Amino acid sequence: MIPNLQQALRLASKVWAPPRRITVSQWADEALYLSPEDSAEAGKFRTDRAPYQRGIMDAFHAEGVEEVAVMASSQVGKTLIFKAVIGCFIAEDPSPILVVQPTVEMAEVFSKDRLAPMIRDTPALRGKVLEAKSRDSGNTILKKNFPGGHITLIGANAPAGLASRPIRIVLFDEVDRYPDSAGTEGDPVNLGRKRTITFRSRKKIGMFSTPGIKGKSRIERAWLRSDQRRYHVPCPQCSHMHVLRWANMLFDPAQPELARMVCPQNGCVITDADKPAMLASGQWIAGNPGSHIAGFHLNELYSPWRLFSEVVTEYLSAQGNPEELKTWWNTSMGEPYEEAGEQADAEGLAKRRESYDAQTLPADVLVVTAGVDTHPDRLEVELVGWGMGEESWGIEPIVLHGATVEPDVWQRLDALLATVRCQTEDGRTLRVMATCIDSGGHSVQQVYEFCTPRAARNIWAIKGQGGARPVWPKRQSKSKKYQGHILRMIGVDTAKDAIYARFNITESGKAGYCHFSLAYDEDWFTQATVEKRLTKTDKRGQEIRIWEKPAGARNEALDCRAYAYAALQGLKIERRLVLARRTIVPAYEAPDPVVPLTPPPPARPVETTARTPRAPPTPGASRLPARRTVHSGYLKR
């Protein structure tokens, strides 16, 4: 019994002994090993490879610092710092640790691909955290025990994981990818903070992330509350201490491989070869020293693993595409992106109109879809052609006048969708492959009765839902109110985000660029750009992003484009486009409609207001702004 007692006493003395006075960076240089599946430079870790990492690591042991916020780009070792903090507290200062990833699935990936290899390859950790396969190890994918503490990994989308049990160390990873609320419990970051209350001054809270949209970014808000430290490095020629900024990058778009940094003080030229010595002599300087939150900002220009020319090349590649440019600013510069898609320029879009029509579509058009917006006295329709990368060609906006509670206007819509034949310059014939019709407004019953028997023709009843949700739903719904008709709930806000971003792509041929035919009048462009993306606060105090149009303004054009885009997503079009590019697509005709319709009244003539003078309005009839109606060539007489 005595040997066992002595062993127990030795173990107890290790557990309850005060931690060594060692910082995270000192521990990492002494004990941390990088794993081959997790690092391009496997083996013993050295902070002198990227000296700026020391300041971030050591903030977790700095006197008076309870919170650390790291707003950084990719390729600067952010995840390595995150892991070093975990490893140091496991080995030197055992505590309850909580790691919060955006989702439970991402928490599992982090545990298996990042944390487990570090524990396996770092001797100082291997003996403390037993392998999961060993009996009674207390080690699972999302929960790992060690003497004096444990580490729990959860997703920000799982409210149960953010409740109960006190935690001393909470580490939030990629906070800009968190949901606005953990279920109905509220902000996941605030829920995680509450777990540390009982530890008072001994608690440590870390937030790490690349930023997202300016004004909405969690890590940006944390950074603005912090002491705002930036890493200053000396110019190799004049020794001026400065921050590596994109504004000081000098390059020729024709020769990005010759990119150089310029000293902001004296214009000295700085090359990649100067970077190691500059980083070794750098220091973190606070821009807001009164804050008790330690905040750090880094971009890829500091990275020892990235050349200036590589950063410039990616910047040039992103030009003309707001989505790619946003990604570049977030992941290369570590800066929140100010959305260009907040507004779109109606006049600029109108100047893009090109000389093509349904019978002379460019050869790049592969698929045609339609979006239909319903109103009591008319149906608004837009036909859109799509190519690779979702480049689009607006074919024609169409107005079908008639009371939508009567069968006549639906008969004409059916004839339009069934008989449209678009000819491409390379000899292919395209019909409307999919159509989305809004059922969220007027004549709901009529929309369902029209769409349900035509599902085989990919004519779908849809209803727009706001918020952050996919454009096309994972599963269809059944309407309880309207006898079980099939309904697709589309992410209309997401669709409009994509459309506005693409309106701002200015280079023809780029993925997402929008073309327009001469059939589009100025009123269409005004309607398509009338809405604005606004940030508001809901009843729970959470920031939400909504689309809003001025009172009384018309937005049918934007709605129709959103529905035509949703129809494209419903077709899972990327796979079809690749197939179409690899095979010869013969001209083909749509089969005649097989669904019987209520016998229509005598056909009324279809006006072509763009080519014939408009008749005087009938007294008492509703008047609409001048808009093109159905092109006579679309309907078989």
pLDDT of residue 401: 95
The stretches of 319-466 forming alpha helices (DSSP H) are 322-331, 346-350, 407-419, 444-451
Give pLDDT, residue 351.
Answer: 93
pLDDT band at 166 (very low <50, low <70, confident <90, very high): confident
DSSP three-state, residue 308? helix
In one letter, which amino acid is 563? Y
pLDDT of 435 reads: 96
Q: Give the mean pLDDT of 430-454.
A: 91
pLDDT over 80 (residue 189): yes
Distance, CA of 43 to CA of 602 (rounded, Å): 82
Strand bridging mode 169-173 / 96-101: parallel
pLDDT tens-place string over residues 445-499: 999 999 999 998 999 999 998 877 889 887 777 766 666 788 899 999 889 989 9
Checking if the pLDDT of 606 tops 50, the result is no
Domain ranges of the chain: 20-233+283-305, 356-634
Tokens of 80: 């390595």
Q: What is the mean pLDDT of residues 254-282?
A: 94
- Residue 129 has a pLDDT of 84
> CB under 8 Å to 39, separation ≥6 — which residues?
80
Look at the domain 356-634 and name its fold.
Nucleotidyltransferase; domain 5 (3.30.420)
| pLDDT level of residue 623 (50, 70, 90 thresholds) | very low
Helix (H, G, I), strand (E, B) or coil at 289: coil
Q: Considering the entire predicted model, what is its pTM?
A: 0.59
β 255-262/269-270 pair status? antiparallel
- Confidence tier at 592 by pLDDT (50, 70, 90): very low
pLDDT reported for residue 389: 87
Tallying the residues shown for the chain, one arrives at 637
| Backbone Cα Rg of the chain | 30
pLDDT at 130: 72
Find the range with the poorest average confidence among 165-169, 243-247, 396-400, 541-545: 541-545
Give the pLDDT of residue 593.
36
8 A C-beta contact, residue 257 and residue 31: no
Angle at which helices 444-451 and 407-419 cross, to 10°: 40
* pLDDT per position as a tens digit, 92-130: 999 999 999 999 999 999 999 999 999 999 999 987 887
What is the average pLDDT score of the chain?
83
Over the stretch 346-396, which tens digit does the pLDDT of each residue have?
Answer: 999 999 999 999 999 999 999 999 999 999 999 999 999 999 989 999 999
User: Judging by beta carbons within 10 Å of its beta carbon (0-12, 13-18, 19+), is residue 587 exposed, middle or buried?
Assistant: exposed
Backbone angles phi, psi at 619, to 5 degrees: -55, 130
Q: Is 552 left (phi over 0), alpha (psi -120 to 50) or beta?
A: left
Residue 614 has pLDDT above 50, yes or no: no
Contact (Cβ atoms closer than 8 angstroms) between residue 173 and residue 100: yes
Residue 633 pLDDT class (50, 70, 90 cuts): very low
Residue 61 has pLDDT above 80, yes or no: yes
Q: Which segment of 16-30, 71-85, 610-624 scores lowest on mean pLDDT?
A: 610-624
User: What distance, in Å, lies between the first and last C-alpha atoms of the chain?
Assistant: 102
pLDDT level of residue 587 (50, 70, 90 thresholds): very low
pLDDT digits (tens, 9 = 90+) for 521-537: 999 999 999 988 776 65
Q: What CATH number should be reported for the domain whose range is 20-233+283-305?
A: 3.40.50.300
pLDDT tens-digit map of 300-351? 999 999 999 999 999 998 886 767 888 999 999 999 987 644 667 899 999 9
Cα gap 377→406, rounded to integer Å? 10
Sign of CA dihedral 568, 569, 572, 574: positive
The Cβ of residue 423 has, within 10 Å, a number of other Cβ atoms equal to 16
Q: Is the pLDDT at 50 greater than 80, yes or no?
A: yes
Binned at pLDDT 50, 70 and 90, residue 607 comes out as very low
pLDDT of residue 311: 96
Q: Confidence band (pLDDT; 50, 70, 90) for 199?
A: confident
Asked if residue 192 has pLDDT above 50, the reply is yes
More confident residue, 205 or 541: 205
pLDDT at res. 162: 72
- For residue 369, what pLDDT is reported? 96
How many angstroms separate the CA atoms of 611 and 628, rounded?
A: 9
